[in-house]
Every structure is written in C-alpha cells, then in structure tokens.
Amino acid sequence: MGLILHITTRAVWADAKAAGTYHADTLETEGFMHCSTTSQVVSTAGRYFRGQIGLVLLCIVPDRVNSVIRHEQAASGQIFPHIYGPLNLDAVIRVVDFEAGPDGEFILPTGLDDSAARE
C-alpha cells in the first residue's frame, strides 16, 4: 500500500511531536482523522484548506500505523483513508511544507509518490 497523506499545520505538528502522538480535531468530532492518497491530496487541499497558511503534509506509511485504517466512500464517491485513533509518530516518514502558490492553487510537492512508502 502506498503513502497516505494528512494535512495539518506546522504548529499542530510541533505540538504532536512534543506530546508524542498526533490527534487531529476530527478524531474527537467525527471519530477518525481524514487522510488522502497522493492522487487526492491536491483536490482535498483546494476544497478544505484554501487560503490557509503554515500547512504541512504528514507522509504516513499505513503499515506502521498502530490505529485502524479504513478506506471509506465519501459523498463524492471517492474512497479515502481514515485513521480511527491516534497517529503514532513513527508512522510519519516525512513532513513536507504544503503551501498554495500565488494563484491560490496547491500542487503535489516533488518526490511525493508511492515509492516513498518503501523507504
């Protein structure tokens, strides 16, 4: 299975590193943390993170995640990975800055593809 990606802010990620585990807001409100595949993350960012600054992508190796991951259908019909529980930090193999360009559009950072999950 390839990488899954989670969008958060640098500040929230810094707090997670200090705490030793990561909990997105949606873990409390929806019972899981939203993630995307590499082919989905740009459209996810455009839809839910437009205009936000200080964003990063957590590059997650699914086989290293201690919590349950379910692939579930969204209203759009697409299947997205959801993490049902806290994210152990050792499952995150890379953290990449993820800022929109001057036109407000996001692009997938270079070097982010499924082969990175095999490092």
CATH of the domain at 55: 3.20.170.20
Give a yes or no: residue 89 inside a domain. yes
Using CB atoms within 10 A of its CB, is residue 78 exposed (0-12), middle (13-18) or buried (19+)? Answer: middle
51 compared with 12, residue with greater pLDDT = 12
Give a yes or no: residue 119 inside a domain. no
Reported pTM? 0.91
* Backbone Cα Rg of the chain: 13
- In this model, does residue 9 exceed pLDDT 70? yes
Spatial separation of the C-alpha atoms in residues 34 and 41, rounded to whole Å: 11
* Secondary structure letter of residue 10 according to DSSP: H
Spatial separation of the C-alpha atoms in residues 16 and 88, rounded to whole Å: 10
- In this model, does residue 114 exceed pLDDT 70? no
Total domain count for the chain? Answer: 1
Give a yes or no: residue 115 inside a domain. no
